[in-house]
Structure 1
Amino acid sequence: MAKSFALKRDAQRWLDDQTAHVARGTYVDPGAGRVTFREFYVDWSSRQVWAPGTVLAMKLAAGSVPFADAPLRSLRRSHIEGWIKGMVNRGLAPGTVHTRTNNVRAVLRGAGADRLISSDPSIGVALPRRRRAQAAMTLPTAAQVGAVLTAADERFRPFVALCAFAGLRLGEAAGLRVEDIDFLRRTLTVTRQVQRAGGGQVEIRAPKYGSERVVFLAPGLVSMLAAHIAAYRLENGWIFTGEGDQPPHQNTVGHRWRTATAAAGVPGLRMHDLRHFYASGLIASGCDVVTVQRALGHASATTTLSTYSHLWPTAEDRTRAAAQALLAESC
């Protein structure tokens, strides 16, 4: 496209600016951004290496934007702000808004890397404030966990115990096989997880990034698992089964969990809250950040701290405890 200027100095200034962009490697062809957000997403997403869960999350986020048919070069910060405000007005949880925005930002970063836009219009856009970890987290009591264990079906009880006393995620517990347990050393190796697939089927995949790990089991949990395996003769190798010879589907586990929690009188409790229960127990027993990180299969200690930092004793707590110990020894 030809570009004209009324004054020669304006033309020279524009040319100098474009030359500088070329030298810095930030030049964007003005015609490149004609492709729409939707068209770019279809092409860009086809080249990404994603787990099935990420595919669904990215598709959901990209499909929710009202500017899908707008050319990339026309996108402004106001487009992103309007989309975010719309999600807030519809009552979406702050965490959901953050996740969808981050996913769309990934698309826009891809467009920037392909030199289709000169800058990311989502940078600096305000997002709704999320609840603090201690306010958003539900920590069940030992009595509540015990009540759920008592109320759970006999075949489902070890599943609940693995989440509460070994910190396994639902998919990790569902994908457990007999050979994953070393009964002599009292360890459990997490090497896979169950993901739901279409038509009520399940898909076996590697765990989340950084989640392959060895979990050290309590003797009581080892005994419970041994009794379960002996009682049900698990010839196909899966410790828990759903339809036929498959490990249980997420919906199957969810139904069993809701039945158990309703009978225990704690219907609002989530299965993931058992993982928080396990983490809080490790922290209360004096385990350090790295130990808790490895036990939970977090990708980094930063993730562990951002989730559970409020559960670790503060300097004030340690000072009081030390002073009390001195007092007890002296009196």
Structure 2
Amino acid sequence: MLSPMAEINIDDEPGDAAKAKNRQRLRDYRRLQKRQHAFLTQRVRELAAEMATLRSAKPLPWHEVAAVFRDDAHDALATQRSLAAQIDQCGHAARILEAWVRASVPAALASFLPHQAPWTQRRLLAPDALRLQSLSWVTDRLLHNADAVLGSCRRQEQMRVTLHALSYDQTYVVIQSHRIVPAPFVDAVAAQRRIYSHTPGGNFVDRELLQASFGGDIVHEQVGDVRVLYRHYVSERRATMVALSITHDDASPDQALSQEPSYGWTELTPVTQTTTRVLDVWLFLLNTPASESGDNDALSHHARFLHETRAAYDANLAHCNALFLQELPVAHIHDV
């Protein structure tokens, strides 16, 4: 049996533990207060320092700010001018290269090459109203392509005949001529008209109809089975003549016409008051004649045909140029 004193000590133990816990909590709370006080004190010092900095700071003078932006703007403008100059130089070089390419590489003529174009593009219609429309259409079409075709010989003086064999059966003959003639522009145009106003041995076709509708600007004539159409377009600073062979004519369907197409372009432009530039491009599609020796001699026959064709068209080119020069004095006397 426990003594009364023992009972008292047992009853006091919980009270002592509670007091000890309270004292520990009080110590922890005081330490926390000190830490918070130290933290807040430090923040007050920092904020006070920032406030002092803000009070002592002054705004930047507007002219200094403007000077900085002005310098940057000047640098940007200088860069822009430099880039613009480089762009101009590149553009100039590109234009030179484009002109060189146009002069060196003939433009594609697939839109009207005879072997790729329908025969209707070399056809004249009937009756008269439709005939006049077809005459205008076939010649205006060639005029539309004049710059592209003449660009192949525009950059340098030359006179040449080239052959382009599509196959053993068909060959293109291309005549290119670029020359400066000693005659005023008006005289050169007059000589051009005289040469193509009538071909020796040729017969005029639609003469009255063309004279009434186009004046002397269109000539339609036939030499043998070849029907050729010439048209002149003349302005103050440029004269262009286009020519083509007619392979189908609805006005005379029973007449057998040559089926070997040809196109021609001639441009005259004044260089000085006494000289004129003359550009010519003529295009002929020829069919290789049958070999009399049979297929065994086809290669040599084709080679002989090409050789004879080149010689014939070289002579024709020389003859046409000489004829043009011969006509110049006649044109000059006629105009005077």
TM-score when normalising by structure 1: 0.22
TM-score when normalising by structure 2: 0.22
The structure with more strand, counted as a fraction of residues: 2
